Every structure is written in C-alpha cells, then in structure tokens.
C-alpha cells in the first residue's frame, strides 16, 4: 500500500518538498513584508537562482520534524519560539563566520541576543510555527501525498540536484566575493569563472540585504 502513496508520513521525500515549500514561502513572505514596511520590492532570495530562501525552508523542516508530534498549542508556540529563534541565531552566526556578512540585525530590538534574534522575533517564530503546524502542514502533507508516485520520484531527484547545484554555486560565489573584499586574487580557473559570472554588482542585486561586517565596523 505504501508504494501507491508518494511520500507517506514524515519521510525524506516529504521533508524535501516541505523544504521547497518553505524556501518559496519565505522568499515571497519577506518580499511582501518589506514592501509593506518600505514601499519597495526588494530581493529576499537566499540563493542565486530561483525564489528560494533556505532559512525558511530549513525552518519548515525543523518545525515538521520536532513539532508535528505535539497537539497542545502552547507547546507548539513555545517550541516554535525556541527552535525558530535558535535556528535564526545559528544561521546569522554561520553566515558571518563563513562569508563575513550578515543579512539582519536586531540589535535595536527589545531583549535581542547579539543582534541575531530578539524576543519579538522569537514570538513571531512561535506564531508562525503554530500556524504552520495547525493549519498549513496538514494541508501541505496531503497535497504532497497526492503527487503521482512516478512523477514525484522523478521531480524529487531533478529538483534535489538543482537545489544542490544552486546552493553550491551560491555559497562559492559568496565565498569568492569575501575573498575579493580581502584583496585575494583569483588563484584558479574556478575563481576566474566566479569573478566573471558572479561579480559584486550581480550578487548585491540578488542578496540586497547582505551587509559586509568588516565594512560596517
């Protein structure tokens, strides 16, 4: 019976599609939110190709794995606060350590933690987690399971390969940008390729919210 239903339960295939949904939702959500705040459309992509924000994608995966077991709204809300806030803090820290940039700074907000997250941001994650677990995931799970098995298997492989390449080239381009900022010249053909196809002006248009930490200081 299992082989007639695509991605039954919380399996790897479903986790991947949840990740994709979160990536797209996060990108669109951030763009719409920024528009209402500033009156302008700003790119909120987390990778070079496609409307994907992996931070939200991974957030959706974390919520799915750790919170779907709970029925109590308060537990889900508190779990969303801690998981979302902790994950956002780690993402900000790793981004700064690896790429020398940050994409958000909450240092002016109430009870912020190193400017990487704050009390109100964590409350937002809690609300988002509650909405996701109670309203979104049950519907999303059923929709994923309705995908024809053969089509779903093929699409999963194709999209997974695309996301791996997309994340890989995006990370490489950002690392190379950090090297250029430090005055490091291209040392091999791949560096030359990155300099040619992913120069600073292109990356700045894609990652409009990224700020170089060294330049800010």
According to DSSP, residue 101 is labeled E
Pick the closest to residue 108 from 96, 120, 100 (CA basis). Answer: 120
Say if residues 64 and 176 touch (Cβ distance below 8 Å). Answer: no
pTM: 0.89
pLDDT digits (tens, 9 = 90+) for 176-194: 999 998 899 999 999 999 9
Can you give the pLDDT at residue 1? 45
Say if residues 54 and 23 touch (Cβ distance below 8 Å). Answer: yes
DSSP tally for the chain: helices H, then strands E: 9, 2
pLDDT digits (tens, 9 = 90+) for 64-101: 999 999 999 999 999 999 999 999 999 999 989 988 88
The rounded Cα 216 to chain-centroid distance in angstroms is 24
Judge whether residue 102 has pLDDT over 90: no
Bridge partners for 113 per DSSP = 117
Rg, Å, the chain Cα set: 19
Can you give the pLDDT at residue 177? 93
Bridge partners for 211 per DSSP = 102
């Amino acid at each position: 019976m299992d082989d007639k239903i695509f991605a039954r339960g919380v399996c790897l295939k479903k986790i991947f599609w949840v990740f994709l949904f979160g990536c797209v939702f996060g990108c669109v959500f951030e763009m719409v939110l920024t528009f209402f705040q500033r009156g302008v459309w700003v790119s909120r992509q987390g990778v070079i190709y496609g409307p994907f924000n992996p931070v939200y994608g991974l957030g959706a995966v974390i919520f799915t794995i750790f919170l779907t077991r709970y029925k109590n709204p308060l537990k889900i809300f508190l779990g969303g606060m801690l998981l979302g806030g902790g994950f956002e803090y780690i993402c900000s820290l790793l981004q700064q350590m690896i790429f020398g940039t940050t994409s958000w700074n909450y240092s002016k907000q109430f009870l912020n933690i190193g400017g990487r997250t704050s009390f109100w941001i964590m409350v937002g994650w809690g609300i988002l987690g509650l909405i996701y677990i109670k309203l979104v995931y049950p519907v999303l799970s059923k929709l994923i399971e309705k995908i024809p098995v053969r089509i779903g298997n093929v699409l999963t492989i194709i999209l997974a390969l695309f996301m791996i390449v997309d994340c890989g080239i995006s990370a490489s381009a950002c690392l190379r940008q950090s090297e250029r900022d430090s005055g490091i010249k291209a040392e091999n053909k791949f560096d030359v390729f990155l300099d040619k196809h992913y120069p600073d002006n292109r990356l700045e248009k894609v990652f409009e919210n990224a700020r170089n930490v060294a330049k800010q200081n």
